[in-house]
Structure 1
Amino acid sequence: MIARVLAVLLVFAALFVGPMPGLAVAAKSCAGSDRTHSTPVTQSQSAARRPVVLVHGWTGTPMIETASKLGSQLGEQVSLFTFDYGHWALSWAADEHIAPCLATYLNQVSGAHRKAGGDGRIIVVTHSMGGLALRYAMDAGHVKDAVPAATVPYVVTLGTPHLGSPWGGSGFAKLKTVLDHILGRAQPTTGQAGGDCLVLRDRGDRLPDHCGELPPWLPAGIQLTQIAGDATVDRSLFGFKLYSIPLFSDGIVPVPSAHGYPTSGPTGAPPVNGAKTASRTDRCTIDFGLVNAAARDLRLVPAGMAIDYLTLQDLQNDKFSPPVQAYLGGVVVAAPCSHTRLATDQSAINQTTEVIKEALVTMKKSAPQTKVVKIAGIDKDGKPAAGFAIEDSGTHLDGCDASKASESPDIVRCGPTAAGADVCWIGSGRETLYCGTFPWEKKLLRYTLPAPSEPMAATRTPDPWGLVLSDGLRCRIRNGGAWPGRADEWVGAYSCEGENRWILVRAGMTTAVDRSKPIWTVRVGQLDAENSDFPPPETVSVATAYLAVAP
């Protein structure tokens, strides 16, 4: 008898979301052992590859097989990341170790993509409760550093129970929680067990009181694709199909729940301008004999299972009766589109690949690029342009040549470097210079030349006058003089405001700005008077570049 009970428990341990976990070490934070098996956020990052992050579900493990299958179909177009909250996976999606840690991870993957020269936008694929965790992770009311819609414009959910599951709150879910805790997963916070919060509900219904608020709506600007598993059981006799029993479920999550995002949030009605949704289905058929055998292994076979009329009645009336449980349990174990297999079933993989490929095309067309701002300090009459403040300077200038920060003729730089006259427009009469200070300031210094300036050709390969980096740091082009240094081959090219960060260029190179892609990048590092050893400079993308131009 005891052996039979243990056998049933072990089978049910795999019933809901896949393989049993190994013994886990208690985790303390997002950066602790609970995330040891998440893919490093810098792995395979490049501007040419789109990050795709996979998030597992309740009692799940990292979606490594899904990542492998997607990778074989998408190749070098993507970099695949698996987020792991397995140690805490018995808890509800909003738990402090799940949604906030997912938000942190997604923001870090996005940041690493930007540092590699990309735009920081990522695609997220979730299984089961992972889709609910993402909804909390993108809501500022639930997590401190919520993921913005601009970071995750595309989401795919596989079997996410937006409206719960008939197994939620059941004795089977409680058994699964107990067994997984014995085997090493963290005990859920009191009243916050994921299995209890995943109860089946109707549009607008609240979660159980101890589970908190409903999962929030995804922010506007997101395209959500919901993929549901839908199994049909075929009855046959001597190899001939007699009839079919549609279950409208993957065994755990009914199709209306997996497609239920539009009615699953607060009030049951999504915001008018909220996330856009599309629904797909991974359908499969399975012979009754396989379902029956699996149900027998689960010790779920009641007498009523032999009478399909009773099962159909209960399915139509949403009655979670023993015959329905037997059918659903057998499907979970045996059907290719079942909840436990949905994330790796080839049909679902193909559909997910299609969605990602469409997203890649759209994202490429709408890919952001470095904004180039062209500034003319004078008008066509050679007078200061409207809006600029003028300040006279008594410094004597000499030795003028073409400015390095301009693509136009008659914009010069003059000595001495202390005068700061490296971006200067030649005014009317050619005896006056109007020199810019910082490109984001509407200010010109006026100098008088001892003799009219000769015509000056433009620099062949100008560098930007100033740069605003993706992290908001503002930097201005170097204008000669003695600068701090470092022990390696990197030297200062731009000084940046407020901290010991400089845009660097490798000695012997002609420019510090990589303009080979739509988003320009630079290398940022430290300098000091002692020429100290510093870590290698990091790659940072450029949000805005300023060039001086003729009117």
Structure 2
Amino acid sequence: MIKWAWAAVLAVVVAAGGIFAVRALPEKSGPSIAVETVQNERYPIGGSTASRSTTEPKTTVVNVVAVDAAGNPAEGYTSVAEGRVTGCERSPASVGVDIVSCASSGGGGRTNVCWVTASRTVLLCGNTPWEKTLRVVRTDVAVGKFGSPESPQPWGLELDGGTKCVLAVGSSSSGENNLLSDYVCDKPGQYLLTGSGHVADRSKPVWTVQRGRLDPSPEKLSPPVEVKVIAAYFAAASN
């Protein structure tokens, strides 16, 4: 009977997956066995190590809604009147309807993010995801209906270390490995570089980008540096 009892104890030990200390108690009415449980630090009873680990870090995706459903600046935003635009088309940073990219009528370049209002000739445009002042612009022709692109690009990216980069208009050759610059950063001379496709590698929970400099002479350039993306900002509609 004692051998049978010991076998039962060992079976419990194996099934529970913990570490146990086994000791014999003094006989009274007959032999008996007591089992003390010692928690296994690597594989504690009651769950796997994954269930107790902290939340895995990941890049935060922020959808910026700067204009409300009535076509007015959303709470916390202000607006200022500014000129006319033309040639509006679907915004590359849009994850909603009626968000467009427009060219300045005066030849001052394009704005990547403009929200179309109900009149369809008045738009509210933002320079970056972080600014709270929108520019009120007008078009001579009503803007058509646009949805979001199949694979939108972030309007802005906040990198590990605090650098902020915004989607630029057009691309410039870096002169290094045929990389191009799609984003301009708030640190002088720094750009986010890409060969083709998305500027950010989104294959892991924490996105990464290649940060480098532009120079017409490749021999002056250092290889780009991989940097983690803390947050990615897209332009979104209120409805």
TM-score, normalised via structure 1 length:
0.34
Q: 1:387 to 1:489 in 2, by over 3 A?
A: same
In 2, the alpha carbon distance for the partners of 1:529 and 1:390 equals: 39
Q: 1:529 to 1:392 in 2, by over 3 A?
A: farther
Q: 1:445 to 1:530 in 2, by over 3 A?
A: farther
TM-aligned CA deviation for residue 501 of structure 1: 2.0
The aligned residue for residue 444 of structure 1 is 134
What secondary structure, in the 3-state scheme, does the structure 1 residue paired with 2:169 have?
coil
Q: Does 2:198 correspond to 1:511?
A: yes
What secondary structure, in the 3-state scheme, does the structure 2 residue paired with 1:380 have?
coil
TM-aligned CA deviation for residue 534 of structure 1: 2.4
The question of whether the paired residues in 2 share the 8 Å contact of 1:485 and 1:532 is answered with no
Q: Does 2:86 correspond to 1:398?
A: yes
Q: For residues 405-484 of structure 1, what are the structure 2 equivalents within 5 Å?
A: 405-416=93-104, 418-480=108-170, 483=172
Q: Does 2:225 correspond to 1:538?
A: yes
In 1, the alpha carbon distance for the partners of 2:219 and 2:98 equals: 40
Higher relative contact order (CA 8 A, sep 6+): 2
Corresponding letter in the other structure for 1:431: T
Corresponding letter in the other structure for 2:118: S
Q: 1:419 to 1:428 in 2, by over 3 A?
A: farther
In 2, the alpha carbon distance for the partners of 1:418 and 1:457 equals: 25
The question of whether the paired residues in 2 share the 8 Å contact of 1:467 and 1:474 is answered with yes
When Rg is computed on C-alpha atoms for both structures, the one with the higher figure is 1
Corresponding letter in the other structure for 1:516: S
In 2, the alpha carbon distance for the partners of 1:539 and 1:398 equals: 37
Q: Which has the higher strand share?
A: 2
| CA-based RMSD | 2.4
The question of whether the paired residues in 2 share the 8 Å contact of 1:488 and 1:533 is answered with no
Q: 1:450 to 1:490 in 2, by over 3 A?
A: same
The question of whether the paired residues in 2 share the 8 Å contact of 1:427 and 1:434 is answered with yes
% of aligned pairs identical? 31
TM-aligned CA deviation for residue 484 of structure 1: 6.1
The question of whether the paired residues in 2 share the 8 Å contact of 1:484 and 1:531 is answered with no
Q: Which has the higher helix share?
A: 1
TM-aligned CA deviation for residue 499 of structure 1: 2.9
Q: 1:528 to 1:458 in 2, by over 3 A?
A: same
Q: Does 2:78 correspond to 1:389?
A: yes
TM-aligned CA deviation for residue 512 of structure 1: 0.6
Cα deviation, 1:153-186, whole Å, max 9, x if unaligned, reads: xxxxxxxxxxxxxxxxxxxxxxxxxxxxxxxxxx
TM-score, normalised via structure 2 length:
0.74
The aligned residue for residue 186 of structure 2 is 497
The question of whether the paired residues in 1 share the 8 Å contact of 2:103 and 2:109 is answered with yes
Cα deviation, 1:383-420, whole Å, max 9, x if unaligned, reads: 221221212212x4222111001111210001247344
The aligned residue for residue 16 of structure 2 is none
What secondary structure, in the 3-state scheme, does the structure 2 residue paired with 1:550 have?
coil
What secondary structure, in the 3-state scheme, does the structure 1 residue paired with 2:112 have?
coil
Corresponding letter in the other structure for 1:435: C
Q: Does 2:69 correspond to 1:377?
A: no
Cα deviation, 1:281-328, whole Å, max 9, x if unaligned, reads: 9xxxxxxxxxxxxxxxxxxxxxxxxxxxxxxxxxxxxxxxxxxxxxxx
The aligned residue for residue 177 of structure 2 is 488
In 1, the alpha carbon distance for the partners of 2:157 and 2:185 equals: 9
TM-aligned CA deviation for residue 479 of structure 1: 1.4
Q: 1:531 to 1:432 in 2, by over 3 A?
A: farther
The question of whether the paired residues in 2 share the 8 Å contact of 1:406 and 1:458 is answered with yes
Corresponding letter in the other structure for 1:461: S
In 1, the alpha carbon distance for the partners of 2:203 and 2:192 equals: 17
Q: For residues 225-240 of structure 1, what are the structure 2 equivalents within 5 Å?
A: none
The question of whether the paired residues in 1 share the 8 Å contact of 2:115 and 2:124 is answered with yes
In 2, the alpha carbon distance for the partners of 1:487 and 1:438 equals: 27
The question of whether the paired residues in 2 share the 8 Å contact of 1:375 and 1:547 is answered with yes
